Structure 1
């Protein structure tokens, strides 16, 4: 970590730029983060970033948001973590709240061609992440083979549980079979969280997970029941935003807080905004028929769905940095990091490639964006803007 300008303001503006431009879902977000914080700003090295991604893949909740929270925490403490979350999350959350207020024409304010160009840019961003991480995290044949095997397994069984299983299996294989002599421990990343604070965070996570449903049942308060539903969705779901949608629908539609057509309209709008898909919770909180102002409902349920992610990553980090320096853990992490590369490789095809590349023009645009990122070292924000413009022209 570099010592200069370790302020929450620095973290906020860095993540705000990404929150305004990071289209493409959680896998693309991880690519944007790597390009910005590993390659350009050098807040941490590639191996530390790979370790952090692996940890957040293990934890339930929105992995890319958890990586962002941890990066902010390491850079500027607790306020830095909050600044990272606000900067990355609020642009799309505010857009979703605005949509819930009835601005139906908001979705048409951006041309379909521009949105498609942004999806193509996500292909280049993820490809750059796979390219860069493979060079540093898969430097030999065994780890390259593990990455390819992980990609094949995930493509054969495209389920969130399969992804977690592949990561766990890679850790066991790495622990038993991989040798990393001379690698030495990775650069120390101080997240500024004591073990006592970590235990408190994990205890609070478990207390809310067990206590909210009991409190809702005893009191009969529908607001508490909703808070429990959103908190539980953020606490127990692996695989990102799309996986959480059925749980949210079950929590809000049958109970009559929102109609199914309104629910689906918000889901459609969520596909057209940057940032994490979990900000769909802000739309639901603003669109539901609640005894509080729509904007307040949006912010309340946005916090409810992201709170478990923050408690889990803050609770795990103080133990994670100590464990990953041990030889056995380093060998396991070498296997896990190889599997993470494989997961990114699989995701590069599905859903990133399959949803964006429709023909030769799209492939040409993705290739040009990849060249600008990897060889010309152009800022990802500029590449995204150029891809959106190209999408309009091609459209």
Structure 2
């Protein structure tokens, strides 16, 4: 788009402040974030129509990366181009990223804080959160027998061979299976209504691909380059958003010996209580060694691939939405994602947290609080830490 195309649009600083406010109050995870965006930008400010917003959401759900953050930066892009996208992403991400980095730095300065009953409570809370995510994603992404079968098969394979390369291979196989059996997909009858005019979408795709190849090169463990590569791979290969990033990051940080499972799950539990995107958990992983630079590199690296794919994918949306084979393959990948998360629910989440009948009881009560009583996650997380401190 030309500069004139944004005449009358909000200044970049106003876009930043709008998304900063949302980043401070948007508790509840990706589904809640999409609701906040709809209320603010479709109903209240009328930046775009319901149908256009629906198509933006649909595209971002199909791409790897954090879907709600991708929707947010797309809204900023449609309002004021790349500067608007940057302002929207920064405003929405900054509060939770800063809080997670501060938590990591605090643990680094006071290692003893990472031990004790409150950590146990948070770890058991994470079991309930991931179980709830598996249940909800299974209902949405596996509505029929073939997709449930794909999910179970992926989970079975990953529980047997859980290496990163097998996770990638299993999702590719799930996509092929979806295309071969032609999984049914609903297709909107509305024409594409999002006025997108990116000039060089292939440039973004090439940059994404080159960086992904570089991210697989061997690097010195624990260095900033290694940290960026680990987080970039996770952001590039994760379909399904925040919870699905857990097994990818666990493989890179816990299985490799860079971080204990207790510290990893404690940080993940605290991230549940933060507003904004769950991918801000990356700031904790980068800052745990006491480095603001590490936190910044981690946040940028995990969000960068999804951003590049949004700018590359917006012009290709009309192709994706109109080709049955492409949509069926993506449906298969989404079903495989459920299996990936199901495997992670057992290892490392369950195996690291549940060691007694009391732990199972704790998980059941936390799950009922989330799924049945509808207690907000930002209340259940600190409550679990407090109860854990008192009883463990």
TM interval, shorter chain, is: 0.5 to 0.7
* 2:74–2:310 CA contact under 8 A, matched in 1: no
Deviations 1:331-352 (A, max 9, x none): 1122122111111111111111
Gaps of 5+ in 2: 1-13, 40-49, 78-84, 216-222, 238-246, 272-280
Query: Cα distance, 1:175 vs. partner?
Result: 0.9
Q: Residue 201 in 1 paired to residue 204 in 2?
A: yes
Query: Cα distance, 1:393 vs. partner?
Result: 2.2
Aligned match of 2:349: 352
Query: Compared with structure 1, are the counterparts of its residues 363 and 373 closer, same or farther at alpha carbon in structure 2 (3 Å cutoff)?
Result: same
* Match of residue 87, structure 1, among 92, 95, 111: 95
Query: Compared with structure 1, are the counterparts of its residues 236 and 136 closer, same or farther at alpha carbon in structure 2 (3 Å cutoff)?
Result: closer
Aligned match of 2:45: none
* 1:120–1:356 CA contact under 8 A, matched in 2: yes
Q: Residue 72 in 1 paired to residue 75 in 2?
A: no
* 1:147–1:340 CA contact under 8 A, matched in 2: yes
Aligned match of 2:147: 143
* Match of residue 33, structure 2, among 33, 37, 57: 37
* Match of residue 309, structure 1, among 305, 311, 329: 305
Aligned match of 1:366: 363
* 2:132–2:367 CA contact under 8 A, matched in 1: yes
Aligned match of 2:187: 184
Aligned match of 1:218: none
Question: Using the alignment, how far apart are the partners of 2:101 and 2:391 within structure 1?
Answer: 29
Report the TM-score when normalising by structure 2. Answer: 0.67
Question: Using the alignment, how far apart are the partners of 2:112 and 2:193 within structure 1?
Answer: 44
Alignment of 1:107-126 (within 5 A): 107-109=111-113, 112-126=116-130
Q: Which moved more, 1:69-78 or 1:344-353?
A: 69-78
* 2:153–2:339 CA contact under 8 A, matched in 1: yes
Query: Cα distance, 1:8 vs. partner?
Result: 4.5
Question: Using the alignment, how far apart are the partners of 2:68 and 2:15 within structure 1?
Answer: 15
Alignment of 1:8-19 (within 5 A): 8-9=16-17, 11-12=19-20, 15=23
Question: Using the alignment, how far apart are the partners of 2:34 and 2:329 within structure 1?
Answer: 22
Give the length in aligned residue pairs: 329
Deviations 1:89-133 (A, max 9, x none): 222223334566xx3x2x434662112111111111111111112
Query: Cα distance, 1:151 vs. partner?
Result: 1.0
Secondary structure, counterpart of 1:361 in structure 2: helix
Aligned match of 1:318: 314
Query: Compared with structure 1, are the counterparts of its residues 118 and 195 closer, same or farther at alpha carbon in structure 2 (3 Å cutoff)?
Result: same
Secondary structure, counterpart of 1:158 in structure 2: coil
* 2:19–2:91 CA contact under 8 A, matched in 1: yes
Question: Using the alignment, how far apart are the partners of 2:363 and 2:143 within structure 1?
Answer: 26
Aligned match of 1:22: none
Query: Cα distance, 1:9 vs. partner?
Result: 4.5
Aligned match of 1:281: 286
* 2:201–2:311 CA contact under 8 A, matched in 1: yes
Question: Using the alignment, how far apart are the partners of 1:324 and 1:191 within structure 2?
Answer: 14
* 2:227–2:297 CA contact under 8 A, matched in 1: yes
* 1:96–1:269 CA contact under 8 A, matched in 2: no
Query: Cα distance, 1:201 vs. partner?
Result: 3.4
